[in-house]
Structure 1
């Protein structure tokens, strides 16, 4: 769920991608990459806290929100997700940025550092995975079946069940319904959704984990019912230097349900690695 952010920002279109930047342009850059939904607005609970000391970059994934709705390449894979991050950094004149990715955004980040490790000042993966496990695969099947049976509206109505704890949904149901209606025009079409899910299902980073030297933070929710917390443990076991923050409650979208704790963890990690460049190219 996204809250309004009353902060000045700059807006641009970079190779078909809708990009917004908050905070001082000369501050360390933090690029936030959303999950399967793709909308940069997903990160609104983080913007105000991060923008105090960072240039915060939000973007809508290709095929979602206000970004280009042209058909995605076929076959579509994580390389395209990573390339879009590079295009944004290039377009903004940034040599480096701290990369923060939620789920699919984490996969984009992992693929980005595989291809361009020198462009990442750090990597944060929130409820991500190295390879989708059977439960996660089953959830994909269920979500696609809901879309096939009831279209985008039915899919959006079911979405909170996968993202949030039941008690939190009950307390915020009216706001979730309002948000669903407001975001309907920006929802990805069925072909885009299927292509993006196929890319996530095919992704397998297990062999590259031991090669990762970029400072890495893994944030996981123990009660995530979409991506089991064991997936984050696999990442942590494979990335020798990774820091791990395990939250007992918050669900898949823990940055939304528990933004205070989440923001403190993320900002603490970013401050620790503030000496890394994450600045504009000279």
Structure 2
């Protein structure tokens, strides 16, 4: 079922629900510049067998409003959209699964609105905390010295997005996924091509907004509140991650009180078919335990 939610004046967000209406809600929050339909269908279906799954388009993606050029917003405003989606659908509390920027938004909700969450799962993201990372040997590493984004990803993100026609655009999109998918699993080009075709068809055009990369992100640290967290939290560790490589997941679990880490073999900063079953299993075990 599809529905539009009025999140703020002039801001409408596209949402989709799947699964039994009386099942525990589970909200999927995608990463920067990514439409909600970037969540792979097999993963959504696997989660919807146990949950009322909701996914939505961020501002400036998919079928939601594209307001940034006329009315710039801040990244924390996107976290407010998470609450607006829950309110608009009449959901008091939900499980949340956030990937990349979505994982940061999930942390903001963990910190600022813990009463709205049943559990949280954080994927491919970094801690909104200034707490140093403590290695297994007891030594510490300042946050600013943790591994950064790979040079290959940075170079790709620095390229201007230019209109050279649909064929060149699809090649650019596939190359982006090839880099984000890492080197531990074979690259499934067909699945990512199908994903991008689905995103373009859903959106109605092939333009990509850079709004999320330009939005102000000051004031996002939640060090003290995350350290006092009481919401059951799972951190997914992707060993081939090129954006927030290990030990970012371990650091995140240290910053969010009570969080635990589960590694998905071969996973990077993408969701190819090979990782979907173990990822769904990890999420459902976590939400099931939180419900119990």
Indicate yes or no: 2:37 matched with 1:46.
no
Indicate yes or no: 2:2 matched with 1:11.
yes
1:107 matched residue in structure 2: 104
Q: Please report the RMSD computed on the Cα atoms of aligned residues, expressed in angstroms.
A: 2.8
Indicate yes or no: 2:254 matched with 1:237.
yes
Indicate yes or no: 2:43 matched with 1:30.
no
Indicate yes or no: 2:285 matched with 1:252.
no
Q: How does 1:164-183 map to 2 (within 5 A)?
A: 164-166=181-183, 168=185, 170=187, 172-183=188-199
Check 1:58–1:109 CA distance in 2 against 1; reply closer, same or farther (3 A cut). Answer: same
Please say which structure displays the higher CA radius of gyration.
Answer: 2
Of residues 254-263 and 41-50 in structure 1, the stretch that sits farther from structure 2 once superposed is 254-263
SS of residue in 1 equivalent to 2:22: coil
Structure 1 alignment gaps of length 5 or more: 1-9, 276-282
Of residues 205-214 and 224-233 in structure 1, the stretch that sits farther from structure 2 once superposed is 205-214
Check 1:191–1:42 CA distance in 2 against 1; reply closer, same or farther (3 A cut). Answer: closer
2:173 matched residue in structure 1: 156
SS of residue in 2 equivalent to 1:245: strand
Structure 2 alignment gaps of length 5 or more: 7-11, 129-143
1:89 matched residue in structure 2: 86
State the Cα deviation string for residues 186-215 of structure 1 (Å, max 9, x = none): 35644424325x53x874344443122111
2:135 matched residue in structure 1: none
SS of residue in 2 equivalent to 1:269: helix
Q: 1:232: how far off?
A: 1.1
Q: 1:164: how far off?
A: 1.1
SS of residue in 2 equivalent to 1:84: helix
Q: Distance in 2 between matches of 1:143 and 1:181?
A: 21
Q: 1:55: how far off?
A: 0.4
Of residues 150-159 and 24-33 in structure 1, the stretch that sits farther from structure 2 once superposed is 150-159
2:148 matched residue in structure 1: 135
Q: Distance in 2 between matches of 1:147 and 1:134?
A: 25
Check 1:169–1:70 CA distance in 2 against 1; reply closer, same or farther (3 A cut). Answer: farther
Identify the match of residue 147 of structure 1 among 153, 156, 160: 160
The answer on whether the counterparts of 1:45 and 1:255 sit within 8 Å (CA) in structure 2 is no
SS of residue in 1 equivalent to 2:230: coil
Q: Distance in 2 between matches of 1:141 and 1:202?
A: 24
The answer on whether the counterparts of 1:64 and 1:188 sit within 8 Å (CA) in structure 2 is no
Q: 1:82: how far off?
A: 1.1
Q: Distance in 1 between matches of 2:79 and 2:31?
A: 13
State the Cα deviation string for residues 198-244 of structure 1 (Å, max 9, x = none): 53x87434444312211100011111122212111111112231121
1:214 matched residue in structure 2: 231
Q: 1:22: how far off?
A: 0.5
Q: Distance in 2 between matches of 1:165 and 1:80?
A: 31
How many residues get paired?
262
Indicate yes or no: 2:189 matched with 1:192.
no
